[in-house]
Every structure is written in structure tokens, then in C-alpha cells.
Amino acid sequence: MVYRLLIFLVKLAINALALLLAAQIFHKIWFDNQQATIVAAVVLALVNAYLRPLVVILTLPINILTLGLFTLVINALMLKLVSWLIPAFHVEGFWTAVGGALVISIVSCLLNLFLRPDRAQVRVYRA
């Protein structure tokens, strides 16, 4: 139980770092305060966990036709949805959302690859 909570918190921190980096790169993505960063990371994680798989399945034919590039559009729409749900998080414009989704995807993928939060092992040695 504690292990899963730790993995969730690490992935949440990765999501928040990716959101902060996207906000630094794109001037049309910004937060009103620091709490909005954490709330946006939590809501983005929930949206990606529950809503995104449904949207990917529903748009599977167009995703196959575009060889998976439509997934980037889905990620951008999820980012715009989070900005719509949270008044203190702003994403202006569709192409800014596409760029932000690309940055968030790359940063999250790289950090998850290097940190591997779900493959961490805890060993206890007794003397």
C-alpha cells in the first residue's frame, strides 16, 4: 500500500515537473499560483488515467490512419480540458496545447525511463 502511494507521488512529481517545463517553454501556458501546478498535475493524471483511454479507443480508426499521430492531438485536448477545469491553469490556443502536450510527453517519458518508479526495489537487511 505504501509502495503504491510512493509510486503515485513520484509519478505526480514527474507530471508536475513536466507541466512546469512546458510552462517555461511556452509563454501561452502559465499558472496563477504554485498550488495550481499541483492541482493541474493531479487532474491531468486523473484525466490521463480514466478519460484518455476511452478517447483513444473511440478514435482508434483515425489514429490508425494517421499512424498514431492523432494521439498527440488527443493529448493536447486532454491538456486543454485540464486548463478548462482549473481556472488557475491557462493554455491559450490549440497549437500551444499540442506543443505543451509534446513537451509533457517527452519529459514524462524520459523521467519515467530514468527514474523507473514502478520498478524500484526496497531491500531490508537484518543483522
**Whole-structure pTM value:** 0.83
Consecutive 10-residue averages of pLDDT for the chain (127 residues): 81 90 94 92 91 94 95 95 95 95 92 73 68
Confidence at residue 5, expressed as pLDDT on a 0 to 100 scale? 83
SS3 54: helix
Please tell me what DSSP assigns to residue 124. -
| Backbone dihedral region for residue 124 (phi beyond 0: left; psi -120 to 50: alpha; all else: beta) | beta
CB 80, CB 94: distance < 8 Å: yes
Note whether 15 and 43 are within 8 A (CB): no
